[in-house]
Amino acid sequence: MATKTKTIEPIIWRENSLFLLDQRVLPHQQSWIEFNDSSAVAEAIKTMVVRGAPAIGVAAAYGVVLAARQAWDMAAVNWKQVLTASLDELADSRPTAVNLFWAIQQMQRVMDELASDQSPEPHLLEAAQLIHRQDVEANKKLGQFGAALLDDNSTILTHCNAGALATAGFGTALGVIRQGFSDNKVTHVYVNETRPWLQGSRLTAWELMQEGIPMTLQSDSAAGLLMASGKLDWIIVGADRIAANGDTANKIGTYTLAVLAKYHGVKVMVAAPVSTIDWNLSDGSAIPIEHRDSIEVTHFNQEAIAPHNVKAVNPAFDVTPADLIDAIVTEAGVILSPTAQLMLKLKQN
């Protein structure tokens, strides 16, 4: 059954400009920022105005459009040479989200086929809009595949935000939850707050409440107690990069949840589009882990919550081994108990 819920659109192209919903100020403010410069888009990705691997990829694709406009205005027939620096800047904005590099590569393929004496913007805009549409379609399809795995009256735990805000719309992990709720399979969702950026409490809780999906917010450290209670059926998360064998990089804390889930007999589902799979990496040990400024851990709303000059680390992601994952759900199908051989079923040329 198709989902009946309406979801948020965090990325809009309108009147030759890119508009991003500023996720740093949600849920108390809904503020849109207009972009006409690729460097500003790269900074928006870096500073988490836009976040979530699929959304980063879509935003980067539009960033390439803006960069091409600038390159054509600046250099005309030499626009390809000028554009290289902007593409590098976009690629450097977030190291872990493979969708970023995938989207830039898709745009590069279009660029390679264009003549130097024509403005690249119309062709690249068409390509970016296709990436945008395909992300929403992929999320809805994987949502249906994921929901089909759920039993009736399922209770779900999700970590971070893998909803409409983290994609072009609808969501990956929340796409499964939305579809499951529409199909009367999901009765309740527990949301980890997700320190230190609080994507769970600020974003996921807001999305679920917008759509009337029953939910409860909890601290990250309460997850073990919830699993021990026997009330939890599935942990459903998104992904920022999946290695060829199914090892998955996701928001820091996901690995901890997966280890606890194995002990307590709770199933783990990773929901992500095929573009999140990095076929060049045989396993998760080679996935680059972004380390962000320690101030995100030592401060809250720019106010210190830790002793002055305390040493702190702030890895943004961890890697969950494939043998702790029960299902990887994509728009191309579902892999149960993923292995490198099984994952090849998802490979698309």
Task: Consult the annotation and say whether 51 binds a ligand.
Answer: yes
Task: Consult the annotation and say whether 99 binds a ligand.
Answer: no
Residue 2: phi and psi, rounded to 5, are -70, 145
Catalytic-residue membership of 240: yes
Q: Provide the token pair at 153.
A: 């009256």
Can you list the positions of beta strands (E) in the chain? 11-14, 17-21, 32-35, 154-158, 186-192, 215-218, 234-237, 241-243, 248-251, 267-271, 277-278, 299-300, 303-304, 317-320, 327-330, 333-336
Strands 248-251, 317-320: pairing kind:
antiparallel
CA atoms of 46 and 94, how far apart (whole Å): 6
Q: Which of 135, 233, 240, 247 is catalytic?
A: 240
Report the amino acid identity of residue 161.
Answer: N
Task: Consult the annotation and say whether 69 binds a ligand.
Answer: no
Count of Cβ atoms closer than 10 Å to residue 70 Cβ: 19
Q: Would you give the distance in Å from CA 60 to the centre of its chain?
A: 13
Strands 17-21, 32-35: pairing kind:
antiparallel
Task: Consult the annotation and say whether 52 binds a ligand.
Answer: yes
Task: Consult the annotation and say whether 309 binds a ligand.
Answer: no
Task: Consult the annotation and say whether 133 binds a ligand.
Answer: no
CA atoms of 13 and 152, how far apart (whole Å): 39
Task: Consult the annotation and say whether 171 binds a ligand.
Answer: no
Report the amino acid identity of residue 75.
Answer: A
Count of Cβ atoms closer than 10 Å to residue 20 Cβ: 23
Side-chain half-sphere CA neighbours of 277 within 13 A? 25
Q: Which residues are annotated as a binding site?
A: 51-53, 94, 199, 250-251
Which residues are part of a known binding site for substrate? 51-53, 94, 199, 250-251
Catalytic residues: 240
